[in-house]
Amino acid sequence: MPWFIRKDESIARTEIEQLCQRTLDEARDRLGCSFRRVLLLPPDITRAHCGAGWIAETFDRLLPDSCEVHMIPTLGQHVPHTKADNRWMFGDFPEERIHAHDWRNGVTRMGTIPAARVAESTDGKADWEIPVDLNTMTVEGGWDLIINIGHVVPHEVLGFANHNKNYFIGLGGKETICASHLAAGVYGIENNLGRLITPLRACYNWAEEQFLGHWPHVYMMVTMKRDEQNRLVHSGVYVGDDVDTYLAAAETSLEQNITVFERPVKKIVAVMQADEFRATWVANKAVYRTRMAMADGGELLIIAPGVERFGEQKEVDALIRTYGYCGSPQVLDLYKKKRDLQDLAHGAAHLMHGSSEGRFTIRYAPGGLSREEVEGVHYEYADPREALARYNPETMQEGWNTMPDGEEVFFISTPSAGLWSVKEKVGGGR
């Protein structure tokens, strides 16, 4: 059962800060915390809009001065933050106590999710084991309390983000991330998005019970929605240490964060903020979250002034440049033959997720990639200055817009905060 839940049309920052104090009080009473060593696990900068940065900073401020507080942004295989990134997201939290997750060399093997369990969960589409490698500092730190912070929102791999995704992807090792993403990829993105318990989530829930059940930890999860002025506001705070807490948050997100269309949309324009999204690896949330709404033969225009590369690491960037977003059948065929794809299986899954499967055009307007680079990975190119001039985020309305020449487009200012789909493709359920 959740420790507590707070839901409203809009929850102010001051109240969320008070709920941080309540979380610490509950942890002291329920877990017997002495607050000598506390670890904060917020998401990385690509999810900064949910307020996780100032929530983490609030916990640090509220903990006793004698408490040794450390933080690990749950990067997964994303690029580590710079000092400027940390200051922008986490304010005055001391830089020397913010630790970058090393997904290759900084993990410890906790156990394995058996192949039989993975196969049963995925209806036989994935039949390999998933090693459970987690950040060594998290495993061996001797923490009195671990506080997971994050945003529950539709997600292409786990149905909804956050909860134990913080551990198994955000702090996972290379083998864990690769095996997990490929399993979700072959199961199918449309079969994952908006589903409360996906096959991979079921596997992670089992792994948490088996390997982390003794850990003194708590999840503080938030939901967000748009208010009457189309501003993103907090609509819920969910605190607890069990799967029911996650389910309560995910059910709210299922209700609030999915836009359902009666018929497919011919053109969607999505903006990925420059201060959060610097690679197509993360900016392709615009693809993941809209592909179930797109009409065959339609166009998705992604305006991403901060995008300057494809992958989060050089080798993944090279992988994307080599094979491109060529569609699931071709990626799976290449995966069987190419060692570089086999070694970076999460990259193969990403190539599947980022394709339109030949149904519609994906057109990118990136700030730091050339036409040749964009077209080289099987996307179409748009000049970012021209795109911003025509579809100015400052003047476009969230939702339907009719341009001066009569063109109708659906505008999305924060694709990472929701899911857009036609009615028949919305999965939902457990």
Q: How far apart are CA 46 and CA 285, in angstroms?
A: 10
Among candidate residues 354, 286, 258, 253, the one with its CA nearest the CA of residue 50: 253
* CA atoms of 346 and 12, how far apart (whole Å): 38
Q: What is the 3-state secondary structure (H, E, C) of the chain?
A: CCCEEEECCCCCHHHHHHHHHHHHHHHHHHHCCCCCEEEEECECHHHHHHCHHHHHHHHHHHCCCCCEEEECCECCCCCCCCHHHHHHHHCCCCHHHECCCCCCCCEEEEEEECHHHHHHHCCCCCCCCEEEEEEHHHHHCCCCEEEEEEECCEECCCEECCCCHHHHCCCECHHHHHHHHHHHHHHCHHHHCCCCCCHHHHHHHHHHHHHCCCCCEEEEEEEEEECCCCCEEEEEEEEECCHHHHHHHHHHHHHHCEEEECCCEEEEEEECCCCCCCEHHHHCHHHHCCCCCEEEEEEEEEEECCCCECCCCHHHHHHHHHHCCCCHHHHHHHHCCCHHHHHCHHHHHHHHHCCCCCCCEEEEEECCCCHHHHHHCCCEECCHHHHHHHCCCCCCCCEEEECCCCCEEEEECCHHHCEEEEHHHCCCCC
Q: Which amino acid is at 173?
A: G
pLDDT value of residue 427 = 60
pLDDT, residue 275, reads 87
Q: Are 349 and 184 in contact (CB under 8 A)?
A: yes
Task: Give the residue carrying structure tokens 């201060």.
Answer: 275
Supply the Cα-derived Rg of the chain in whole angstroms.
21
How many Cα atoms sit within 13 Å of 9 on the Cβ side?
Answer: 4
The predicted structure's pLDDT at residue 429: 47
The reported pTM is 0.89
In contact, 384 and 365? CB cutoff 8 Å? yes
Assign residue 74 a region (left: φ > 0; alpha: ψ between -120 and 50; beta: otherwise): beta
CB-CB neighbours of 373 under 10 Å: 16
pLDDT per residue, tens digit, the chain (430 aa), is 999 999 999 999 999 999 999 999 999 999 999 899 999 999 998 888 899 999 999 999 999 999 999 999 999 888 889 999 999 999 999 999 999 999 999 999 999 999 999 999 999 999 999 999 999 999 998 999 999 999 999 998 899 999 999 999 999 999 999 999 999 989 988 899 989 999 999 999 999 999 999 999 999 999 999 998 888 999 999 999 999 999 999 999 999 999 999 999 999 999 999 988 999 999 999 999 999 999 999 999 999 999 999 998 899 999 999 999 999 999 999 999 999 999 999 999 999 999 999 999 999 999 999 999 999 999 999 999 999 999 999 999 999 999 999 999 999 999 988 999 998 887 654 5
Q: How far apart are CA 5 and CA 249, in angstroms?
A: 9
* Residue 151: HSE in the Cβ half-sphere, 13 Å Cα cutoff: 24
Q: Which domains does the chain have, with CATH numbers?
A: 4-257 (3.40.50.11440), 262-425 (3.90.226.30)
Q: Which residues have C-beta within 8 Å of that of residue 86, sequence separation ≥ 6?
A: 73, 93, 95, 98
Residue 352 has φ and ψ, to the nearest 5°, of -70, -45
